[in-house]
Structure 1
Amino acid sequence: MSNLTKTSTTNRSARPNGPTTSPAATRSPRLSGMNWLIWRQHRAGFWTLLALTALSAAGLIYQRTDLMNQLTTHGWPDSSPDKWLPAVHPQRFQLVSYGLGFVPIVLGVFLGAPLLAGDLENGTAKLVASQSVTPSRWLATKLGISALVVILCTAALSIAFGRWWGPVKYEPTVLGWSDGTAFDNTGPVPVALALFTVVGGVAIGMLLRRTLISMVVTFAFAVVVQVVWHFQRLNLGHVVTITTHKGIGPTTSPQLPEAALEIDTSMISGSGQTYGWGTCAHEASEKVCAEKFDLVGWSVDYLPISQMSGMQWFGASILFILTAAITVFIFIRGRKRIV
């Protein structure tokens, strides 16, 4: 009995007086629960996207460094463009921008479409529905982690490409700012297009419940989105009109701001009426035409490059709203019929 008492007293005296720290408290932050499960389920795709993004961003950073070295060697920015422009390789910008333009389509087809369709097809969704986790939490975790990866990847590529193109953005011979090659690969537009395509693919997969057919339909959906966006891009801006009253000779045309996109050019009469280019095509001379229609100058509609950022955020806001609407539909549909 005395031995047991002695042992107990010894054990108590060996304990530290300060607060104890459990092993769990010393661990670094890690994913757990549903977050860990979703990440583990799609970790191959997520890590592939992050790795490809890191490699692509590194390549863009290298291209910017090489471009800046070439430009400064030829006197940029103090010298005139004809001095340093030959040092720029527009074909590089074209090739890279075309490749980046496929990113939303690829993400929608290979990430968005299978995200729910695969679980619905192989029965994983039924297993989730039988557990204590609610369908809303499952959907929120799936969409949240996927959206976070998409935002991170597309934002990194947008920043890297924008910094590369920035020094020569006022030269339309490199990339026109209003073209998809520049407009859709910088600012918030790549993020908005990718999110909209991915979430649209998720909704398509949830409705069709088959992975392969969902990927095919998502591809068609993504292409349609790109086409519609292409034709509506210029409508995001506010057209500016400049007029002159110095006659209709070729040297009297108004001077537009640097890198401005010309939308339309017409001749104007003394009463303010506009006439197209073909008005004087069948007249004896330009002077006769001017006297006949009382032509006094030019009217030019254009979009300045200063509107680029505003146009991008306006268009991205529309895409974000549409993305949010599709997300709400996914949750409403998922709560009613997830299996």
Structure 2
Amino acid sequence: MSTMTNTGSTGNTGSASSGSAPDSARTGAGRGRGLRLSGVNWLVWRQHRAAYWTILAAAAITLAVIVYERQQMMTYLEGYGYPHLKDGWEDKFDRRMFDVVSQVLGVVPILIGVFLGAPLLAGDLESGTAKLVNAQSTSRVRWLATKLGVTVLVVTVCTAALSAAFTWWWSPIKSSSYISFWTDASVFDGTGPVPTALTLLTVVGGVAIGMLVRRTLMAMVVTLGFAVVVQVVWSHFRLSLGDVLVKTSHNGVGDGTFPALPDSAVNLDQSYLTASGDLIGYGSCNEATEKAAAACLDKAHVVGWSVDYLPISQMSAMQWFGASILLALTAAISAFVILWGRKRLV
């Protein structure tokens, strides 16, 4: 009896093995197709997939708007002889969507930092998920690195794509001050590497804040303040990233004597230049009458102007220099998150 039973079991096992072999092959072939996440990568993506997909979808919609508006703009500009635009093209130019999109890009670092960065670890610490993960075989370092890595990847892809598209939109009209000066936040912070660098700093800063605060709502509030401070400090030091150039004149300060600056250059400061080479403030001879002002200038031996300016040719270098500083801060905060979380996370 035992022989029959064993034989039957063996037969069934053999039959099951032979029957499941094609299924296994099909399953293996199915897994070989496309990109499939597994392990901690899958866990992190599934846990935050709503936020990730929201960011990706919003980026896709914004990209579509930019592409459409750029086509509309080029049709308009071609009617005025682009690339050699005729005078008066600004009169009927509709800049409303450009302003709206630039404002949206301006708040992207704050929104993503608050709604993605802050809850990333604070939510797990508050709900106890971090303790559950800590009890598994996966190390804290790998879990933290994966959390940061997947988030940084999604943010980088979306912001880089938006920045490239917005730069493409702005490029045909960048020489016109009617739309915006290139040093304005709406352009400088929305093109090149700056949007990505600013967003990564606020996101990773929010992650660190959430790790320390350990409460989601409080982390979001503190991250909001952190993001606003970053924006204020960045706007204050933005123009300091460039190499200020000086242009002088020695033909007096009357009409038509002001130095001609390069196209799209930004005038940072202007002073009177004296015969001895000294500078006096522009308002130093702001007298009540024209005669009194002329006497003041003669007394100071003013011979011309001295103008501090930044040319648009420095824009890219300024953006990359500033972005490198922001990315260095981001890397430092990321290292802090890993080192602190390795021993004190739970």
Confirm or deny a common fold (TM above 0.5): yes
> What is aligned with 1:245?
250
Residue type of the partner of 2:100? L
> What is aligned with 1:52?
58
Pairing of 1:298-317 with structure 2 (within 5 A) = 298-317=305-324
Distance 2:93 2:158 in 1: 27
> What is aligned with 1:114?
119
Residue type of the partner of 1:24? G
> What is aligned with 2:167?
162
**Match among 23, 26, 46 for residue 27 of structure 2:** 23
Tell whether the 8 Å contact from 1:71 to 1:87 is kept in structure 2 after alignment: no
Tell whether the 8 Å contact from 2:271 to 2:279 is kept in structure 1 after alignment: yes
Structure 2 residue 75 is matched with structure 1 residue 69:
yes
Pairing of 1:87-166 with structure 2 (within 5 A) = 87-166=92-171
- Could you report, residue by residue, the CA deviation over 1:85-108 in whole angstroms, capped at 9, with x for unpaired residues? 224223332222112100000000
Distance 2:54 2:240 in 1: 36
Tell whether the 8 Å contact from 2:122 to 2:210 is kept in structure 1 after alignment: yes
Residue type of the partner of 1:109? V
Distance 1:225 1:155 in 2: 19
Tell whether the 8 Å contact from 2:134 to 2:140 is kept in structure 1 after alignment: yes
Residue type of the partner of 2:317? G
Distance 1:132 1:329 in 2: 23
Cα gap change, 1:206 to 1:79, in 2 (>3 Å): closer
Distance 1:331 1:23 in 2: 37
Distance 1:321 1:198 in 2: 14
Structure 2: runs of 5+ lacking an equivalent = 1-6, 19-23
Residue type of the partner of 2:319? Q
Structure 2 residue 280 is matched with structure 1 residue 280:
no
> What is aligned with 1:271?
276
> What is aligned with 2:40?
34
> What is aligned with 2:4?
none
Structure 2 residue 220 is matched with structure 1 residue 215:
yes
Residue type of the partner of 1:100? L
Distance 2:85 2:153 in 1: 43
Residue type of the partner of 1:338? L
Distance 1:277 1:125 in 2: 61
Distance 1:266 1:23 in 2: 76
SS at match of 1:52: helix
Structure 2 residue 327 is matched with structure 1 residue 323:
no
TM-score, reference length from structure 1: 0.91
- Could you report, residue by residue, the CA deviation over 1:88-143 in whole angstroms, capped at 9, with x for unpaired residues? 22333222211210000000000000000000000100011101000000001100
Please state how far the C-alpha of 1:21 moved relative to its aligned partner.
5.7
SS at match of 1:102: helix
Name segments (4+ residues, structure 1) moved above 6 Å: none
Please state how far the C-alpha of 1:255 moved relative to its aligned partner.
0.3
State the aligned residue count: 323
Q: Which range is displaced more, 282-291 or 292-301?
A: 282-291
Percent identical residues: 55
Tell whether the 8 Å contact from 2:274 to 2:301 is kept in structure 1 after alignment: yes
Distance 1:21 1:248 in 2: 86
Please state how far the C-alpha of 1:286 moved relative to its aligned partner.
4.8
Please state how far the C-alpha of 1:23 moved relative to its aligned partner.
3.5
Tell whether the 8 Å contact from 2:77 to 2:85 is kept in structure 1 after alignment: no
- Could you report, residue by residue, the CA deviation over 1:166-197 in whole angstroms, capped at 9, with x for unpaired residues? 11111111011101000000000000000000
Distance 2:128 2:293 in 1: 76
Tell whether the 8 Å contact from 1:90 to 1:173 is kept in structure 2 after alignment: no
> What is aligned with 2:232?
227
Please state how far the C-alpha of 1:25 moved relative to its aligned partner.
4.0
Distance 1:279 1:128 in 2: 68
Residue type of the partner of 1:304? P
- Could you report, residue by residue, the CA deviation over 1:21-43 in whole angstroms, capped at 9, with x for unpaired residues? 66314531311111111111111
> What is aligned with 1:292?
299
Distance 2:42 2:345 in 1: 21
Distance 1:250 1:280 in 2: 16
Distance 2:241 2:46 in 1: 41
